[in-house]
Amino acid sequence: SKSKSVSMASPTQPEIHPSTPSTPSTPSTPSTPSTPSPKKAIPLLRSALESAKGNSRIL
């Protein structure tokens, strides 16, 4: 009976394995919104660089 439960668990495990890659894919989904956020951060970085240049000019 235990061997049968193991055989039943073995097909269940492959299902868990595909779900495991899907779990990393879930973080990759937030990474997609994070991709536009760097784009928004680029102007912020540019403005920060410009302000840094202004500060360097002041210095």
d(CA 28, CA 5): 35
d(CA 10, CA 4): 10
Residue 12's pLDDT band (boundaries 50, 70, 90)? Answer: low
Q: How confident is the model over 15-32, as pLDDT tens digits?
A: 555 555 554 454 555 555
Per-residue pLDDT averaged across 27-50, rounded? 64
d(CA 17, CA 5): 18
Structure tokens at 36: 């536009």
Structure tokens at 21: 């890659």
Residue 41's pLDDT band (boundaries 50, 70, 90)? Answer: low
pLDDT for residue 45: 76
